[in-house]
Amino acid sequence: MKKAPFWFLLFLLASCGDSTTKQTTPDMKGKYAIAIHGGAGNLVKMNLTNEEQEAYKTALDSALTEGSKILANGGTSVDAVEATIRILEDCPLFNAGKGAVFTHDGHNELDAAIMNGENLECGAIAGVRHIKNPISLARRVMEKSEFILLQSEGAEEFAREQGIEWVDTSYFFTQHRWDQLQEAIEDDKTELDHSGKKKASTLSKPREEKFGTVGCVALDVHGNIAAGTSTGGLTNKRYGRVGDTPIIGSGTYADNTTCAVSCTGKGEDFIRLNVAHDIASMIRYAQVDLQSACDSVVMKKLKDIKGRGGCIAIDCVGNIAMPFTTTGMFRGSIDVNGEKKIALYEEK
Q: What is the DSSP letter of 299?
A: I
Active site residue 213: yes
Q: How far apart are CA 264 and CA 82, in angstroms?
A: 17
Torsion of CA 230, 98, 343, 309, to 10 degrees: 40
Read off the amino acid at residue 240: G
| Residue 233 vs 332, nearer CB to ligand ASP | 233
| Residue 251 vs 328, nearer CB to ligand ASP | 251
Would you say how long the chain is, in residues?
A: 348
Q: How far apart are CA 235 and CA 330, in angstroms?
A: 18
User: Can you spell out the DSSP letters for 86-130?
Assistant: HHHHTSTTSSSGGGPPPBTTS---EEEEEEETTTTEEEEEEEESS
Q: What is the DSSP letter of 2?
A: P
- For residue 229, which phi and psi values (nearest 5 degrees)? -145, 145
Best CA proximity match to 291, nearest among 265, 261, 270? 261
User: Can you spell out the DSSP letters for 335-348?
Assistant: -TT--EEEEEE---
Q: Measured from the CB of residue 229, what is the shortest distance to ligand ASP in angstroms?
A: 8
| Residue 249 vs 265, nearer CB to ligand ASP | 265
Q: Which residues bind ligand ASP (CB under 6 A)?
A: 39, 95, 211-213, 231, 233-234, 243-245, 251, 264-267
Q: Measured from the CB of residue 95, what is the shortest distance to ligand ASP in angstroms?
A: 5
**Residue 60 DSSP SS3:** helix
| Residue 246 vs 318, nearer CB to ligand ASP | 246
345, β-bridge pairs: 328
Q: How far apart are CA 111 and CA 248, in angstroms?
A: 12
| Residue 140 vs 266, nearer CB to ligand ASP | 266
From 213, 235, 245, 258, active-site residue: 213
Q: How far apart are CA 112 and CA 97, in angstroms?
A: 10
Judging by beta carbons within 10 Å of its beta carbon (0-12, 13-18, 19+), is residue 346 exposed, middle or buried? exposed
| Residue 142 vs 234, nearer CB to ligand ASP | 234
Q: Measured from the CB of residue 50, what is the shortest distance to ligand ASP in angstroms?
A: 24
Return the active site residues: 213
